[in-house]
């Protein structure tokens, strides 16, 4: 027997007899409890995600609606309010330090892009079908 084999044999004998650590709890029962708890939490999360998608669609439709009303009303208001409206606009423009905030068109564009983005996101999410159950085991 070579020195290498002797050393390996020495290791094997010592480690084979090494006492295994003990656990003070019922591991199987505890693991099953935790596993089921997490799966229930994952299902709850999936339900919220599903609700969240429809909320997203509703919010986007609401924004588009507000935008449509704003666009429809603004030319009419301008005609009706006449010079008073123009004076008010001039005053606002003078007071506003940042020009873009007073620019209604830019604001409407930003809202439009936001609403379209939300709708697009919802459409993609909904086309993926039912949300997949959160696989926490894989994440581990």
Partner 1 sequence: MSETEQGTPDLERLRRRDAGAFTWLVNEHRALVLSLGRSLGLSGADLDDAAAEAFAAVYGALPGFEGRSQLRTWVYRIAHRTMVKHRRGLKRKRLGALPEEMADPGGPSPAAEAAASEEQRRIWAAVDRLGQREAAAIELHYQRGWSVEEIADAMECPTGTVKTLLFRGRERLRELLSDMERSHDRA
Q: Which residues are at the interface with partner 1 (CB under 8 A)?
A: 7-8, 10-12, 14-25, 27-28, 30-32, 34-35, 38-39, 135-138, 140
Residue/partner pairs of 46-53 with CB below 8 Å, 24 or more apart: 46/131, 46/132, 46/133, 46/134, 49/131, 50/130, 50/131, 53/122, 53/125, 53/126
Nearer Cβ to partner 1 (34/47): 34
Smallest gap from Cβ 9 to partner 1, in A, equals: 10
Nearer Cβ to partner 1 (12/44): 12
Nearer Cβ to partner 1 (10/47): 10
Length of the chain: 140
């Amino acid at each position: 027997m070579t020195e290498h084999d002797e050393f390996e044999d020495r290791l094997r004998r010592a480690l084979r007899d090494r006492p295994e650590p003990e656990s003070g709890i019922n591991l199987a029962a505890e693991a099953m409890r935790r596993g089921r708890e997490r799966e229930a939490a994952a299902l709850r999360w999936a339900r919220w995600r599903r609700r969240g998608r429809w909320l997203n669609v509703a919010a986007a439709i609401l924004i588009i609606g507000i935008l449509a009303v704003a666009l429809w009303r603004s030319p009419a208001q301008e005609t009706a309010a006449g010079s008073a409206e123009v004076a008010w606009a001039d005053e606002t423009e003078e007071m506003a330090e940042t020009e873009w905030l007073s620019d209604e068109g830019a604001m409407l564009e930003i809202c439009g892009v936001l609403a379209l983005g939300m709708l697009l996101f919802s459409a993609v999410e909904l086309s993926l079908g039912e949300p997949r159950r959160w696989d926490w085991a894989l994440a581990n």
